[in-house]
Structure 1
Amino acid sequence: MNSMSHPRVSFITVNFNGARDTINLLRTIFDHIRSFCFEVIVIDNASNENEFQVIKKQYPLIKGEYLSENLGFAGGNNRGLEMAIGDYLYFINNDTLLPTDADAQIRSMISFCDANPKVGGLSPKILYHTPRNLIQFAGSTSLTPITIRNKQIGYREMDLGQYDQILQIPYFHGAAMFVPKTVIDYVGKMPTCYFLYYEELDWSNSITQYFQLFYFPKAQVVHLESASTGMDSPLKMFYITRNRVIFSYRQRKCSLRVLSLSYLILMAFPIHLCLLLFKLKFKQSMAMMKGIWSACRWIMIESR
């Protein structure tokens, strides 16, 4: 990284009690990126200890800071965005790794964006670390108007090259988002009302009002999250429930908003809650009820 040159890419990652993962990500950035100037920004989102200093001791060229308050996914990334001076911002989860040919891959992303002014951003092909070559993300379908459901293309399929075509998509994958700085200057930062989950979907909707998003399989990242990781932790259940309602309120209008909120609160969630109780998943059941209540309180405050 040449600090005397203007960076083409600002890598931004948010750390929360994950210094080891973050250091592994930085190793792949500093080892593999050679042909263009870049900067790396690490935001420590109020880890139990100041891990930013631990990381900076190993990689002194990084920028960033330790936050005394956890600002959530969007808040942490927005803080990094405020420090960034690159032409492109690469928001990337700290538990990901870049491949050995990342330099050429990212140059391809830059070239694609430079050649197409309507590009609002790219998400690469995302593969699970375990098992190898299992796809996590190869694009996505649109969220349905009422149920707020969609499908990730290629999810849990082996990568056999079947999703190697560039595809216009409605939403980023939050683990890896490559965005021209000019797009962010035009659209604005990520919404901070979600804290965790759904913020990249909301932000994608803002961007696609003016630009186009693409799945870009010529670039890849490996996600250290295992495909066998439990999907229904109480924390995740709370935020997925809460934020699905908030997203519906923010992104649906008039009668469609009423239909969507009614479906979620009066049908989808009660059915899911009964299933959780039947399976004796009491912590998840409580988290879901708290999520519904939190979302309703948020809507009442917003609608005043």
Structure 2
Amino acid sequence: MISISVIIVNYNAKYFLKNCLDSVLSSDMIEQVEIIVVDNNSSDGSSEMLHKEFPQVICLQNSENAGFSRANNRGVAIAKGDYILILNPDTVISETTLSEMLHFSKSQSDFGAAGVQFMDGSGKFLPESKRNFPNLKVAGAKLLGYSKYYYANHIQKETTEKIDILTGAFMFIKRSVYQEVGGFDEDFFMYGEDIDLSYRITKAGYHNHYVGSCKVLHFKGESTIKDKFYLTNFYGALSIFYKKHFPNNKALYMLIDALINAIISIKSISAPGASKAKEKFDSWVYLGDDDQFFEKLKLRFDASKGFKRRAIEDEIKEVEIIFFDSSFISYQDIIKSISNPLIQKVKKRIICRDHSFYLGSDASDERGEVVDL
């Protein structure tokens, strides 16, 4: 019996997708889970990797980049689970994430959807984990670069509470609710569709929840090129939202449009360049138990500055980088360790289970690093 259908929309994020799938397949309830990947015409070999390495995953191939909303709706259309998890490919979940979310959802009356506490690759809390409804005050301040009202800062990050807006990188939704409200609005190509869906869920009489006890890694923005196309979609999503839900308040969306057009015309955001992999570190730690692979790392990096451990220890906070071997350490422990404040300033990288590459990021506004091994 399928309880949960995990829907992942992928666009040129092959390595992060592979690591994400490894984490989902490690779920303690994987026998009740189906995974559906909708690929938006990637050119990085994602589809070939999926067919070769993950034959148990259902892969739907789009002939063009259909956008986030349309691709997710296509995946949900064939889903069998009572619950849907909309999941980004640049995320890592723990072995208990799905069972925790399923247990929580079944304990709630009028459950609509739920989100989690996101952390970036450095272990820093991501405030978009919990957001307020974007009324004029909230949206206007956000457009002007002031985010105090945009994020639900009144909710403590470790608590569980009802919330207005969830994030599309992880949305755990009752399938019947998703179908009742019509799924993602395909007028949104990318960005804003999660605001719209969250709003329609609450309008239909259901509740959205923030589950702060459940932590998920999000290597934010890995597949996003922040050019004018990005700006138009990111900021333009608010305009689509207001025109859809408040069609008679022309003064409201005219003001929003004016702000958006001004921002797009004056704001230049370039895509961050890919990080150049370092070949030497001041000191490094391999957390794992594979002696042969450790020797390979010693040949790759400075052998005199690297050492092997089987668990996090206090002195590790003094090193430059930690390599977490996901074939040895559970994803739950990796997520817990990355969020450990003792190693907040230490670089962290996750080694893929087949030891073919490692990945990670050092900040939410930087592209993730992928290094072949």
State the TM-score bracket (shorter-chain normalisation): 0.7 to 0.9
Contact 1:128 1:226 in 2 (8 A): no
Q: Confirm or deny that 1:38 pairs with 2:29.
A: no
Residue correspondence of structure 1 range 154-233 to structure 2 within 5 A? 162-210=156-204, 211-225=206-220, 233=227
**Aligned residue number for residue 263 of structure 1:** 255
Contact 2:29 2:98 in 1 (8 A): no
Per the TM alignment, residue 226 of structure 1 is displaced from its structure 2 partner at its CA by: 7.0
Contact 1:90 1:179 in 2 (8 A): yes
- 2:17 corresponds to which of 14, 22, 37: 22
SS of equivalent residue, structure 1 residue 201:
helix
Contact 2:14 2:45 in 1 (8 A): no
The superposition leaves residues 213-256 of structure 1 with CA deviations (integer Å, 9 ceiling, x where unpaired) of 011112221001279x99953222121232222111012142xx
| Residue type at the aligned position of 2:119 | L
| Residue type at the aligned position of 2:68 | F
In the alignment, the residues of structure 1 paired with residue 61 and residue 173 of structure 2 have an alpha-carbon distance, to the nearest angstrom, of 24
**Aligned residue number for residue 295 of structure 2:** none
In the alignment, the residues of structure 2 paired with residue 197 and residue 152 of structure 1 have an alpha-carbon distance, to the nearest angstrom, of 16
RMSD (Å), alpha carbons? 2.9
Bigger helix share: 1
In the alignment, the residues of structure 1 paired with residue 269 and residue 61 of structure 2 have an alpha-carbon distance, to the nearest angstrom, of 35
C-alpha spacing 1:54/1:207, structure 2 compared with 1 (3 Å): same
- 2:125 corresponds to which of 134, 139, 151: 134
C-alpha spacing 1:22/1:273, structure 2 compared with 1 (3 Å): closer
**Aligned residue number for residue 150 of structure 2:** 151
| Residue type at the aligned position of 1:170 | D
**Aligned residue number for residue 115 of structure 1:** 107
Q: Which of 144-153 and 167-176 deviates more?
A: 144-153
In the alignment, the residues of structure 2 paired with residue 64 and residue 231 of structure 1 have an alpha-carbon distance, to the nearest angstrom, of 24
Q: Confirm or deny that 1:247 pairs with 2:238.
A: no
Q: 5+ unaligned residues in a row in structure 2: which ranges?
A: 143-148, 272-373
- 1:90 corresponds to which of 82, 85, 106: 85
C-alpha spacing 1:273/1:197, structure 2 compared with 1 (3 Å): closer
The superposition leaves residues 41-88 of structure 1 with CA deviations (integer Å, 9 ceiling, x where unpaired) of 111111126632321310111112111122100011111101210111
In the alignment, the residues of structure 2 paired with residue 29 and residue 112 of structure 1 have an alpha-carbon distance, to the nearest angstrom, of 18
Contact 1:124 1:220 in 2 (8 A): yes
**Aligned residue number for residue 117 of structure 2:** 125
Contact 1:52 1:65 in 2 (8 A): no
**Aligned residue number for residue 234 of structure 1:** 228
Q: 5+ unaligned residues in a row in structure 1: which ranges?
A: 1-5, 156-160, 285-304
In the alignment, the residues of structure 1 paired with residue 264 and residue 78 of structure 2 have an alpha-carbon distance, to the nearest angstrom, of 43
- 2:53 corresponds to which of 20, 38, 58: 58
Per the TM alignment, residue 265 of structure 1 is displaced from its structure 2 partner at its CA by: 3.1
- 1:78 corresponds to which of 58, 73, 80: 73
| Residue type at the aligned position of 2:87 | I
TM-score (norm 2): 0.64
In the alignment, the residues of structure 2 paired with residue 58 and residue 72 of structure 1 have an alpha-carbon distance, to the nearest angstrom, of 25
In the alignment, the residues of structure 2 paired with residue 26 and residue 226 of structure 1 have an alpha-carbon distance, to the nearest angstrom, of 18
SS of equivalent residue, structure 1 residue 167:
strand
SS of equivalent residue, structure 2 residue 151:
coil
SS of equivalent residue, structure 2 residue 168:
coil
C-alpha spacing 1:231/1:57, structure 2 compared with 1 (3 Å): closer
**Aligned residue number for residue 317 of structure 2:** none
Q: Which of 68-77 and 107-116 deviates more?
A: 107-116
The superposition leaves residues 189-229 of structure 1 with CA deviations (integer Å, 9 ceiling, x where unpaired) of 210011011111111111111211011112221001279x9
Question: What is the aligned length?
Answer: 262
Larger radius of gyration: 2
In the alignment, the residues of structure 1 paired with residue 180 and residue 39 of structure 2 have an alpha-carbon distance, to the nearest angstrom, of 27
| Residue type at the aligned position of 2:241 | F
C-alpha spacing 1:273/1:110, structure 2 compared with 1 (3 Å): closer
C-alpha spacing 1:145/1:97, structure 2 compared with 1 (3 Å): same
SS of equivalent residue, structure 2 residue 136:
coil
Contact 1:108 1:218 in 2 (8 A): no
